[in-house]
């Protein structure tokens, strides 16, 4: 019962942390906008790094102007070139980042509402910002900790799960443990195992399907990309791959959590 309580308590902590990340944490505020009757060519040329602009009539936003590669005549106004504003283009700054991110696979940008006013924008490139990396690393850390907890609860002796690894890894883990003990540390053995070690141990001891190994390889690659600040979602295809890896991590958190519950109840 104690193991079950620890797992549930940790799940609540992680869930609260994931919910703490909001769309506003990665949005860009201070938008360049157009008044509806404003001619657009000169202003577009002055803001080459921006591709989407809200179009306002007074203080009200009535449309969206997207940069086009087509040459725009100098006398055309924002009203003539804009798309009508639709609810599908909008997202609240307070929306959970965890819930929102997959939407970027279907649409390259959203305007961000603060209250009832459009004040920011979030685009696919914002997935590379630190809050998204923190969110992803939180989920991957959650997965690894569930894996470690199953190993702790499934084996009475450290040597029993160590023997499921190859000789080089066994020696490396023991050498690391010995070094830390000489420095007056008393590490938990399983914390010295790599993500890949935990993956191998669980596969061999828990009767998991081969898809577990495949999914964990994919998740580990994402973990390494994030740790080394790689460009893990450079385009729509990269985004879709990122979201699939995140989904796999969550699926195995759920599946392994069920196994941990069974162990705690046994």
- Of the given ranges (37-41, 92-96, 239-243), which has the lowest mean pLDDT? 239-243
CA 115, 77, 89, 131 torsion: positive or negative? negative
| Residue-averaged pLDDT of the chain | 90
Secondary structure element (H or E) that encloses residue 64, with its range: strand 60-66
In angstroms, rounded to a whole number, what is the distance separating the alpha carbons of residues 254 and 238? 25
Residues forming a β-bridge with 121: 28, 111
Distance CA 148, CA 204 (A): 14
54 with 30: CB under 8 angstroms? no
pTM: 0.83
What's the pLDDT at 8? 64
Q: Which residues contact 62 (CB under 8 A, 6 or more apart)?
A: 36, 55, 56, 79, 82, 84, 85
Residue 66 has pLDDT above 80, yes or no: yes
What is the per-residue pLDDT for 14?
81
C-alpha 7/C-alpha 257 separation (Å) is 8
């Amino acid at each position: 019962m104690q193991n079950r309580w620890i797992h549930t308590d940790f799940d609540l902590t992680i869930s609260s942390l994931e919910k703490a990340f909001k769309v506003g944490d990665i949005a860009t505020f201070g938008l360049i906008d157009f008044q509806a009757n404003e001619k657009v060519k000169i202003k577009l040329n002055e803001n080459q790094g921006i591709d989407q602009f809200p179009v306002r009539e007074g203080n009200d936003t009535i449309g969206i102007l997207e940069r086009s590669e087509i040459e725009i005549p100098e006398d055309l106004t924002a009203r003539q070139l804009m798309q009508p504003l639709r609810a599908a283009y909008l997202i609240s700054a307070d929306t959970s980042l965890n819930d929102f991110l997959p939407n970027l696979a279907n649409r390259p940008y959203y305007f961000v509402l603060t209250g009832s006013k459009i004040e920011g924008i979030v685009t696919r490139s914002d997935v590379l910002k630190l809050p998204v990396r923190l969110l992803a690393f939180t989920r991957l850390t959650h997965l690894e900790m569930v894996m470690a907890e199953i190993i702790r609860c499934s084996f009475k002796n450290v040597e029993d799960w160590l023997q499921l690894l190859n000789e080089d890894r066994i020696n490396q883990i023991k050498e690391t443990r010995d070094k830390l003990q000489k420095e007056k540390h008393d590490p938990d053995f399983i914390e010295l195992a790599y993500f890949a070690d935990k993956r191998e141990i669980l596969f061999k001891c828990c009767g998991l399907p081969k898809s577990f190994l495949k999914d964990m390889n994919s998740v580990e690659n994402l973990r390494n990309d994030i740790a080394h600040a790689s460009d893990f979602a450079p385009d729509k295809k990269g985004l879709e791959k990122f979201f699939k890896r995140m989904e796999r991590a969550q699926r195995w958190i759920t599946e392994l959590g069920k196994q941990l519950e069974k162990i705690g109840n046994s």
